[in-house]
Amino acid sequence: MGSWRDKIRKTEPYIPGEQPKGSNIIKLNTNENPYPPSPKVKEAIESYDANNLRLYPDFVCSSLKSAIAHTYGVNENEIFLGNGSDEVLAFCFMTFFDSDKKVLFPDITYSFYDVWCRLYDIPYERVPLDDGFNIVPEDYFKENGGVVIANPNAPTGIYMELEALEEIIKRNGDSIVIIDEAYIDFGGISAAELIHKYDNLAVVQTFSKSGALAGIRVGYAMANPELIGAMEAVKNSFNSYTLDSLSQTIAEAAARDREYIKDCCGKIIKTREWTVAELKRLGFDTLPSLSNFIFTTNKNIEARDLFKYLREQNIIVRYFDKPRTEKYLRITIGTQKQMEALIEAIRRY
Amino acid sequence: MGSWRDKIRKTEPYIPGEQPKGSNIIKLNTNENPYPPSPKVKEAIESYDANNLRLYPDFVCSSLKSAIAHTYGVNENEIFLGNGSDEVLAFCFMTFFDSDKKVLFPDITYSFYDVWCRLYDIPYERVPLDDGFNIVPEDYFKENGGVVIANPNAPTGIYMELEALEEIIKRNGDSIVIIDEAYIDFGGISAAELIHKYDNLAVVQTFSKSGALAGIRVGYAMANPELIGAMEAVKNSFNSYTLDSLSQTIAEAAARDREYIKDCCGKIIKTREWTVAELKRLGFDTLPSLSNFIFTTNKNIEARDLFKYLREQNIIVRYFDKPRTEKYLRITIGTQKQMEALIEAIRRY
């Protein structure tokens, strides 16, 4: 008995960010939107016919695809939808990186990239950011099995201009370049339209951040129809119906209310600039962020200690205990009121 | 340019069952429940706070797990939740079948089993059913890398008694045995309580069929905490939040209204028995089904022709064009009225 243990897979568990319950907590650790989703989302839920749930979802997701296509000026067959951009990115990795050459991405970036590479046996190389935490385009001009760039990058928040990004895409005509734009709506310009210029480009976005819909798990990739078709084939051999009916309806309602998303992002950008200025007065250096979080340091304060102190004050931020990031805190931009409470708490510290 | 094609994965696409739109169609092809979900589901949706969607879902899913635990007399740490039982089964295969020995399952069974084996490079053997389409327990008493049994089996609908199933589990103490119980509520007895007796057993269920919630994609596995822990580790390295907030709330509402599910299944069972009796009068032989579909044949009729005829009458059933199944139709049990229309159409034919 018990030798089934030899047959099962042993995986190092990944620990997601803390999701505490309790209304007196200021949660600035997982880059959620502090504002609710569009009022159209509430309407869509209220008018949804529950009886419809007995049926399998529309696995083509045509209605939601049409809303996204309209936003970005792409075609429906240039869109792949998935259960959160994590699933979409995982399918991108599985589909696009099937060679024995190394996939390139920054040493400091979204922490799931190397996890997926290991899971799918994809060789990879973590390319160091420069001393200012910038991505150096020239580092991605060498032979590779693919390239992944988060723009803006996480946890730095630094945005790369489209010209520089386009140079990376252009110089890698024989590999797929994935641009992960989870945070693009907080001040950057999407590379989406470049998919009509470069057939080796895939742009990934999500409704979780600017759409304030982390709870429904909808992400998407935009790329030429051949790449999207290859992704669909991989997905359909795994699970045809990853996106449920209600989530499709909700995401569509949000996608069609682009004005609300813009307003919401505008408020967050304003609060971000205010927060950065206040932190500067308190002696903090903050990397230039075009996302809904900032990466900040203070040479007179141990980041780890400040993290613990804030936790005691019921303010949760994120601390990455790794060589190049251990002097920094990553702080999600909350409401103006929440950020005032944060600044006040740091001032007391 | 274009040599990125050498680096991407080529997969044979899987074509899911037809999902036609139009209210005059009688859809008996994908084993959906003809009745709506519990009224508690409607209430849960109506009282859901849309603002909550800005936050990531509870990735522990504790509230939904507690409802399922209560139904089956298991503990919360003995439950793994996923985005439909397809995702749950895929994670079971990925986690439990990591040896170079062959995984065994019937030659005629759920069509995704061999797809996942090929996707994850799992060696497998399709064990022939006997001439009456029964699973022969003794065939599973040999050395293997794991066993997968759908109970009731699909597309036959045939149920295996718990004693026979237990013998297979007991004789395979050094492999994991997965029992896929997607259709168990339509007359069978779940093996769930056996997880406390056998540490090599995983039982998989879904809200899609008896719960009438195919639209929200929630499935689960029940097994000992060590197996569940191994699955969680694999899942978390892929995507921590596969189950969205609203789906958790909806599935919980359904799970806590077990009486409604029982009533609903009772009606379907009654209609199934009526349909089988009527088909017999029309010269059909139907395999003994304890599920929400039947597998039926008529030696005087070409199944393929009847399938096409019914399609023209706006009645969609399922036809599997393979050697051992080409004489049969798989027909989902709809409402009594729908089945009366089906019988009437066949009578005319």
CB-CB: which of A12, A37, A116 is closest to B50? A37
Domain that holds residue B218: 39-46+56-256
pLDDT at res. B15: 66
Answer yes or no: is B1 within a domain.
no
Q: How far apart are CA A21 and CA A129, in angstroms?
A: 36
Answer yes or no: is B137 within a domain.
yes
Residues B280 and B310 in one domain: yes
The residue written with tokens 């797809």 in the block is: B115
Residue B260: CB atoms within 10 Å: 19
Q: What is the mean pLDDT of residues B191-209?
A: 97
Nearest CA in chain B to A83: B242
Interface touch B46/A42, C-beta < 8 Å: no
pLDDT at res. B241: 76
Residue B23: CB atoms within 10 Å: 4
Q: How close is the nearest chain A Cα to the Cα of B202, in Å?
A: 12
Interface touch B4/A175, C-beta < 8 Å: yes
Interface touch A54/B230, C-beta < 8 Å: no
Answer yes or no: is A8 within a domain.
no
Interface touch A241/B86, C-beta < 8 Å: yes
The model's confidence at residue A1, banded by pLDDT at 50, 70 and 90, is very low
- Among candidate residues B17, B15, B4, the one with its CA nearest the CA of residue B316: B17
Q: Domain ends where: B225, B256, B287?
A: B256
With a CB cutoff of 8 Å and minimum separation 6, the contacts of B305 are none
Residues B289 and B240 in one domain: no
Residues A179 and A312 in one domain: no
Say whether pLDDT at B117 is over 80: yes
Question: CATH number of the domain that B293 lies in?
Answer: 3.90.1150.10
Cβ neighbours of A56 in B, within 8 Å? 19, 30, 32, 208, 214-215
For the record, the structure tokens of B66 come out as 């507690």
CB-CB: which of A95, A216, A242 is closest to B246? A216
- Among candidate residues A281, A252, A223, A278, the one with its CA nearest the CA of residue A57: A252
Say whether pLDDT at A126 is over 70: yes
Q: How far apart are CA A42 and CA A62, in angstroms?
A: 21
Highest mean pLDDT among A18-32, A228-242, B180-194 belongs to B180-194
Task: Give the residue from A1, A5, A6, A7 with the most B CB atoms within 10 Å of its CB, the best one to mutate.
Answer: A7
Interface touch A241/B217, C-beta < 8 Å: yes
The model's confidence at residue A207, banded by pLDDT at 50, 70 and 90, is very high
Residues A119 and A248 in one domain: yes
Q: Domain ends where: A207, A239, A256?
A: A256
Distance of CA B106 to the CA centre of its chain: 15
pLDDT at res. A14: 66
CB-CB: which of B59, B238, B247 is closest to A119? B238
Model confidence over B272-303: pLDDT tens digits? 999 999 999 999 999 999 999 999 999 999 99
pLDDT at res. B7: 84
Question: CATH number of the domain that A144 lies in?
Answer: 3.40.640.10
pLDDT at res. A237: 79
Residues B89 and B171 in one domain: yes
- For residues B67 and B283, the answer to whether their CB atoms sit within 8 Å is no
Residues A27 and A45 in one domain: no
Mean pLDDT estimate for chain A = 94
- For residues B200 and A8, the answer to whether their CB atoms sit within 8 Å is no
Residues A167 and A87 in one domain: yes
Interface touch A237/B11, C-beta < 8 Å: yes
The model's confidence at residue A6, banded by pLDDT at 50, 70 and 90, is confident
Say whether pLDDT at B1 is over 50: no
Residues A341 and A207 in one domain: no
Answer yes or no: is B9 within a domain.
no
Q: Domain ends where: B256, B278, B298?
A: B256
Interface touch A174/B242, C-beta < 8 Å: no
Model confidence over A298-314: pLDDT tens digits? 999 999 999 999 999 99
CB-CB: which of A7, A90, A214 is closest to B55? A214
Cβ neighbours of B245 in A, within 8 Å? 215-216
Residues B146 and B127 in one domain: yes
Interface touch B9/A95, C-beta < 8 Å: yes
Chain A to chain B Cβ contacts (< 8 Å) = 282
Answer yes or no: is A2 within a domain.
no
Q: How close is the nearest chain A Cα to the Cα of B240, in Å?
A: 7
Residues A221 and A148 in one domain: yes
> pTM here?
0.93
Model confidence over A134-192: pLDDT tens digits? 999 999 999 999 999 999 999 999 999 999 999 999 999 999 999 999 999 999 999 99
Q: How close is the nearest chain B Cα to the Cα of A119, in Å?
A: 8
Nearest CA in chain B to A246: B216
With a CB cutoff of 8 Å and minimum separation 6, the contacts of B56 are A19, A30, A32, A208, A214, A215, B241
Q: Give me the number of domains chain A comprises.
A: 2
Interface touch B8/A96, C-beta < 8 Å: yes
Q: How far apart are CA A188 and CA A289, in angstroms?
A: 10
Residues B231 and B308 in one domain: no
With a CB cutoff of 8 Å and minimum separation 6, the contacts of A314 are A24, A25, A26
Q: How far apart are CA B157 and CA B184, in angstroms?
A: 10
Answer yes or no: is B295 within a domain.
yes
Model confidence over B46-91: pLDDT tens digits? 999 999 999 999 888 999 999 999 999 999 999 999 999 999 999 9
CA distances from B305 to A29, A255, B302, B345 (A): 61, 45, 5, 13
CB-CB: which of A13, A173, A237 is closest to B119? A237
Interface touch A238/B37, C-beta < 8 Å: no
Answer yes or no: is B214 within a domain.
yes
Interface touch B232/A50, C-beta < 8 Å: no
Interface touch A54/B41, C-beta < 8 Å: no
Mean pLDDT estimate for chain B = 94
Say whether pLDDT at A193 is over 80: yes
Answer yes or no: is A209 within a domain.
yes
Helices A62-72, A245-255: crossing angle, 10 deg rounding: 20
ipTM > 0.95, yes or no: no
Model confidence over A52-106: pLDDT tens digits? 999 999 888 999 999 999 999 999 999 999 999 999 999 999 999 999 999 999 9
Residues A191 and A297 in one domain: no
